[in-house]
Amino acid sequence: MSAAAPALPDFPWDLLEPAKTRAAAHPDGIVDLSVGTPVDPVPALIRRALAEASDAPGYPLTAGTPALRAAIAGWLARACAASGELGVLPTIGSKELVAWLPTLLGVGAGDVVVIPSVCYPTYEVGALLAGATVVRSDSLTALGPDPRVKLVWINSPSNPTGRVLPAEHLRKVVDWARERGAMVVSDECYLALGFQTRPVSVLDDAVTGGDYTGVLSVHSLSKRSNLAGYRAGFLGGDPALIGRLLAVRKHAGMIVPAPVQAAMIAALSDEIHVDEQRERYAARRDSLRTGLVKAGFEISHSEAGLYLWATRGEDCWQTVDWLAERGILAAPGAFYGPAAARQVRIALTATDERVAAAVARLT
């Protein structure tokens, strides 16, 4: 008899449909600030690289072309201050990786996956797909010497809170996990979007000193390069863990298309478009933050990433309804864990015109 499928939570955004319908009824239309979907154009140099590689009749390499692997390694060395020998691997975006990583690394029944108390829902989904037990905790010392812990997720800059973890905190997490033989996986998809501080990678020499044993770093080109539609992500870190993942992904056919691999090389080789996109988000962030504060919201963390973490001091669904009445759609904190029941996540990913409309409605 086959094993029962894991019981997964409801898909969060399905629960937001009533508020979306209400917001869409606004005479000037909806301002959707509920998701982090880029709205700005894909940079021209990336589109050119994709088009020039479009004659791709053969199967691409799961490991990525040598040129792509070199581009990833070079970017990690520059952007993450990583001086050691890294294993690297392209992925089909970052969400599929987050969802399947515990399974691909052999985490299963009887094992524990630690996730932040407030975090991206797919960390929990990935652990449940693997049959593991999920523990939400921001204090690893409270877990004690539990030998069942096999994987620890960290996320800096955080989705949804925008919180940035300092190097000392990251180093303590890595040390804690190594003492227990657990893996540390750091989701750093928003690393390039620091506004009030410079985010630090878990691969930084200040954290690991060039020793990546048991450590992986997850990255995405969706946010920094507007490539959400390309599904372009990658991993860096422990060469042994990367080798294990590569072996399974080859069997499973988890391959980044060849034209997308070429586009990734172009994206990783240019920082001008990233700086320009960061400036766009900074301007939208300033406008929305001012409008929210004037409307009585309190903003916490939010020093990096694509979101403002806001509260009116009430249940998050009440806040969602209050905003929906003004034609603005936000994500309730409840999507990200029980500890966030009084916050909402406001995305910066709307056009300048829609952001201006939201600010006008707030103020």
What is the per-residue pLDDT across 107-117, written as a single tens digit (0 to 9) for each? 999 999 999 99
| Fold match between domain 12-41+273-362 and domain 55-270 | no
- pLDDT score of 1 more than 50: no
Mean pLDDT computed over 26-39: 96
- The dihedral sign for the CA sequence 299, 334, 200, 263: negative
Model confidence over 47-72: pLDDT tens digits? 999 999 999 999 999 999 999 999 99
Mean pLDDT computed over 34-42: 95
Task: State the Cα angle at 114 between 301 and 75, rounded to 5°.
Answer: 65
pLDDT given at position 264:
98
Q: How many CA atoms lie within 13 A of 211 on its CB side?
A: 7
- By three-state DSSP, how is residue 137 classified? coil
Our CA dihedral for 112, 114, 115, 117, rounded to 10 degrees, sits at 110
Which CATH class name applies to 12-41+273-362? alpha beta
- pLDDT score of 142 more than 90: no
DSSP 275-331: HHHHHHHHHHHHHHHHHHHHTT-EEES-SBSSEEEEE-SS-HHHHHHHHHTTTEE-E
Q: Does domain 55-270 have CATH number 3.40.50.970?
A: no
pLDDT given at position 143:
76
Mean pLDDT computed over 218-229: 97
Model confidence over 174-188: pLDDT tens digits? 999 999 999 999 999
Determine if the peptide bond prior to 121 is cis (ω within 30°).
Answer: no
Mean pLDDT computed over 160-185: 96
Model confidence over 328-347: pLDDT tens digits? 999 999 999 999 999 999 99
Q: Which helix (H) or strand (E) holds 221?
A: none
Model confidence over 118-129: pLDDT tens digits? 999 999 999 999
Q: What is the pTM of this model?
A: 0.94
Model confidence over 250-291: pLDDT tens digits? 999 999 999 999 999 999 999 999 999 999 999 999 999 999
Q: How many helices (H) and strands (E) does the chain have?
A: 12, 13
**Looking at 90-94, 136-140, 314-318, which range is the least confident one?**
136-140
Distance CA 326, CA 108 (A): 45
Are 30 and 325 contacting, i.e. CB atoms less than 8 angstroms apart? no
Kindly state the percentage of the chain with pLDDT values over 90: 93
Tokens of 89: 């691997």
Domain spans, the chain: 12-41+273-362, 55-270
Q: Which helix (H) or strand (E) holds 172?
A: helix 167-179
Model confidence over 306-320: pLDDT tens digits? 999 999 999 999 999
Tokens of 93: 């975006």
Are 211 and 203 contacting, i.e. CB atoms less than 8 angstroms apart? no
- End-to-end, the C-alpha distance of the chain in Å comes to 60
pLDDT higher at 216 or 13: 216
pLDDT given at position 358:
98
Distance CA 171, CA 211 (A): 12
Distance CA 206, CA 42 (A): 33
Instruction: Say which amino acid occupies 123.
Output: Y
